[in-house]
């Protein structure tokens, strides 16, 4: 289910639209489950072992996409969760569903960190979009490595997404980048991109706690600059 009232940019959604999005999410979950069930039944009815093996891989592929979708749903309750575990499961599903077959390795370096569910969801949305951008633009037709690093900087969280690809200088800012900037703003954080011959790096920094966001932005800037020196 979706809880749009937790999302600042959706505060003014009419109740009818709110309920419609909740129902849409519920139906997508049901359709994914139904598709997995259909493929599983087809595999069980087949007497060909090769067909069974192929359909098993299809089931796993759909399951991986379903896990990504579930992880990126807006949370219902804003409880505290293990952010490192959340990102680990998200990155594993993204890797299996979207990257492994293209020869792209996804590596996560994590720190123990607790975040509220709504802020962890925003972090996951940003990381997912940055990984998608790297996989689309950084490597051309070849493989490479995308690295995600989650650091606890005392009162601040720093998350860096780096790739070792060549990138493209012709990429224009699109909807994805606007979403990333909006989500970073919701976190009262900063986000900066650095691109060169050795790849692209994006650094997100935001306060660990929601209070004191004004002072947090200045400190995030100094942490970011220090990490790029």
pLDDT in tens, the chain (229 residues): 333 333 344 444 456 665 676 677 778 878 888 998 999 999 999 999 999 999 998 998 888 888 888 888 877 777 899 999 999 999 999 999 999 988 999 999 998 999 999 899 999 999 999 999 898 888 877 789 999 999 998 889 999 999 998 765 555 556 778 889 989 999 999 999 888 778 899 999 999 887 544 444 444 544 434 444 3
State which of 53, 74, 95 marks the end of a domain.
74
Q: Based on the domain organization, do 40 and 86 belong to the same domain? A: no
Q: Based on the domain organization, do 228 and 180 belong to the same domain? A: yes
Domain extent at residue 147: 79-229
Quick one: pLDDT at residue 70? 83
Q: Based on the domain organization, do 124 and 219 belong to the same domain? A: yes
Quick one: pLDDT at residue 154? 84
Query: What own/partner pairs with CB < 8 Å and gap ≥ 24 does 223-229 have?
Result: 223/153, 223/156, 223/158, 224/158, 224/190, 224/192, 227/158, 227/160, 227/203, 228/194, 228/201, 228/203
Q: Based on the domain organization, do 14 and 104 belong to the same domain? A: no
State which of 41, 74, 107 marks the end of a domain.
74
Quick one: pLDDT at residue 158? 95
Q: Within the chain, where are the H helices?
A: 15-45, 49-71, 83-94, 117-137, 175-186, 213-227
Q: Based on the domain organization, do 134 and 207 belong to the same domain? A: yes
Q: Based on the domain organization, do 55 and 111 belong to the same domain? A: no
Q: Based on the domain organization, do 96 and 40 belong to the same domain? A: no
Beta bridge pairs of residue 153:
156
Q: Based on the domain organization, do 68 and 169 belong to the same domain? A: no
Q: Based on the domain organization, do 145 and 162 belong to the same domain? A: yes
Domain count, the chain: 2
* Number of residues that this document lists for the chain: 229
Q: Based on the domain organization, do 88 and 30 belong to the same domain? A: no
State which of 36, 55, 74 marks the end of a domain.
74
Look up the CATH number of the domain holding residue 195.
3.30.565.10
Distance CA 129, CA 194 (A): 16
CA distance from start to end of the chain: 43
Beta bridge pairs of residue 109:
149
Pairing of strands 156-163, 190-196: unpaired
Q: Based on the domain organization, do 120 and 171 belong to the same domain? A: yes
Q: Which of 141, 109, 103 is nearest to 127 (CA)?
A: 109
Quick one: pLDDT at residue 82? 95
Q: Based on the domain organization, do 94 and 170 belong to the same domain? A: yes
């Amino acid at each position: 289910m979706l809880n749009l009232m937790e999302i600042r940019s959706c505060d003014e959604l009419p109740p009818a639209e709110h309920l419609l999005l909740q129902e849409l999410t519920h139906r997508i979950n049901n359709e994914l489950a139904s598709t997995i069930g259909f493929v599983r039944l087809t595999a069980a009815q087949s007497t060909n072992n090769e067909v069974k093996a192929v359909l098993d891989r299809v089931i796993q592929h759909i399951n991986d996409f379903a896990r990504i979708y579930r992880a990126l749903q807006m949370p219902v309750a804003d409880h505290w969760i293990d952010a490192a575990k959340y990102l680990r499961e998200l990155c594993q599903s993204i890797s299996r569903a979207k990257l492994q077959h293209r020869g792209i390795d996804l590596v996560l370096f994590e720190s123990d960190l607790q975040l509220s569910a709504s802020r962890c969801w925003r972090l996951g949305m940003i990381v997912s979009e940055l990984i998608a951008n790297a996989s689309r633009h950084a490597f051309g037709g070849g493989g490479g490595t995308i690295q995600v690093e989650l650091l606890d900087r005392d009162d601040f969280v720093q998350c860096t997404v780096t790739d070792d690809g060549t990138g493209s200088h012709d990429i224009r800012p699109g909807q994805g980048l606007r979403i990333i900037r909006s989500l970073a703003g919701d976190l009262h954080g900063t986000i900066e991109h650095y691109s060169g011959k050795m790849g692209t790096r994006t650094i997100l920094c935001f306060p660990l706690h929601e209070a004191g966001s004004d002072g947090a932005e200045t400190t995030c800037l100094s942490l970011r600059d220090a990490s790029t020196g």
